[in-house]
Each structure stands twice: as C-alpha cells, then as structure tokens.
Amino acid sequence: MNPRPHTAVIGLGAMGLPMATRLAAHLPVTAYDISEPRLAQLAAAGGTPAATPAEAAREADVVLLAVRDQAQVDAALFGENGAALTLRPGTTVILTSTVGPDAARATAARLAERGALTVDAPVSGGPVRAGNGDLLIVVGAEDKALDLSRPVLDLLASTLTVVGPRPGDGQALKAINQLLAGVHIAAAAEAIALARGLGLDPATVVESLRHGAAGSFMFADRGPRMVEAYASDQDPEVKSRLDIFVKDMGIVTGIAKSAHVPVPLAAAAEQLYLLGERSGLAAHDDSSIVTVLSPKEADR
C-alpha cells in the first residue's frame, strides 16, 4: 500500500473541492472540473489542474469521483476524454457520489473490464466537515481495493464503516442515511411553517427545540437557514442543493419498492422536494423547502 498515492479528484463541487483541498495538503493531487475558478482554488491549495478527466487520471493510483449523479459518473469515466481511457490496471476508483446500489454495481463491472478496482464509498457530512476530514463514509469494497484506498479515505473520514465486500453495499446504507436526512429536513420545514402560522418567532422555536428531544442534526443545521430565508431578501448560501434530495429520495423510494418495504414518510418527503423543484427551487439550498409550506408573503 502506497502511503502517499497519487490521487485524481474528478468533480470540484460543494463536496469535491473541500475533499480535494484536504487531500492536496497530504498527497499529490491532480483534479478536473468544468469550472476554471474551482480549478484555480485547487491549484492555490497545492493541487494540479487537469484539462480532462483522462488527463487527471493518467498517473493516478487512486481516482476519486465527486460528481452529482450517475449521468455525471458515466461521463467522467466513460465519456469523451473520460478517466477510463487512461486508467492503469490496478488503479482504484472511489465512488463518493450517491447513485444507488444497482448503478454502483454496474459502474464497478465496467471498470473491472479495464482492470480497475472500485470502492463504493458515498460520503455524508457537508462541505465544512469534508474540508476537516470529518466525514461519515460508508464503504462497500473487496479487501484489496479497500486497502489501496485507505490513505485517501482515512484523510477524509472521522467515521469509516465497512458495510460489505461489494460495490453497492455502501450505497444501500447511504440510502438509509438519506431517508433519515430527507425526512428530518422535511419535518423541520413543517415545524417552522407551523410556527409561522401560529404567530411564533421561528428563530426562538429553532433555538429552543434544537436542544431538546425533538431536535436533530438536520433541525439544528437547516433550521437557522430556514429562519434566514424569511429574515432576508437574499436566499441563504447554497450548501446543499434541493435537487440533490429529489435525486436521493428517488433512490430511497425506488430501492424500497424493489425490496417491497413500505416507506410512507420517505415518499411524502420526496413529494415535498418535487414540489420545491417545480416551484423553481432546484438550485436553491435545500432549506428553502420551508417556503413551499409557508411562502414568504404568507400572513404571520
């Protein structure tokens, strides 16, 4: 196991950039993204920008994908100038995106045809924790792939859970994580919408309840941003796009249906995110979902 594997990071979005910056402080990192400003930020942190995914992966021992969905995974790996063109046999590909178990297994099978190993390692925790190496990472991978990727994963995770030996196992646990996260955000939005409807100060409600039995990480994290949505004419900073939960709750309800497990709360939350998307909030912070239930102009 190389203690300092040359690592390619493909995707410098809300999670990819802080992860790449964290890695660049400890490992040789080459990265690709369509955004020139993000590539410049990575360069300032000690990484090396690449013009294509193939160029980023050319000398890599480990390739970390931090893209939004399976379509972007396919484009980054197998599209024109995709990383698969230059992957060397034995290279390990870490899939950090939430794409669902079937998609992860299909990706791993295509990579195996090229002699590459796959570590299914979806991440959770948000951009700040990504930059601090404080992520929750759940892994599905065979021992060899996991060992080769350990120097990278250990720099990013404070909690690393090996779920099983196959790609897709990590995705299954991440789906359960997203079920809880998505339902908790929707519940927080309902609580704050009801508080406004009852004439209560939402900021007081959040500050009071976040410390009690009704609190949750999502209520404590998203609640203040929901309050901010009403306190300012400007939208809160986008830390997690609403359409990410449209995607993720779709994965949750899809695999639940395949397993014949009823998930009524997840299904209701999915519909709320779809309503938000149809209302033009797809690219807004997911905390903006509260304005679907209690519009800004609603009577207080």
Tell me whether strands 7-10 and 62-65 are parallel, antiparallel or unpaired.
parallel
Q: Is 210 exposed, middle or buried (0-12, 13-18, 19+ CB in 10 A)?
A: middle
> 174 an active-site residue?
yes
Helix-helix angle 217-231:202-209, to 10 degrees:
170
140 DSSP β-pair partners: 120, 164
Secondary structure letter of residue 285 according to DSSP: B
Please give the Cα distance from 102 to 99 (Å, whole number): 8
Alpha-carbon Rg for the chain in angstroms: 20
- Check 174, 239, 247, 296 and give the catalytic one: 174
Tell me whether strands 48-49 and 29-32 are parallel, antiparallel or unpaired.
parallel
Q: Count CB-CB contacts under 10 A for residue 78.
A: 16
29 DSSP β-pair partners: 7
Please give the Cα distance from 261 to 3 (Å, whole number): 43
Residue type, 172: A
- CB neighbour burial string for 58-70, b if at least 16 within 10 angstroms, e if fewer: bebbbbbbbbbbb
93 DSSP β-pair partners: 63, 118
What share of residues in the chain are helix, strand, coil (percent, to 5)? Answer: 55, 15, 35
List, by residue number, the catalytic residues. Answer: 174
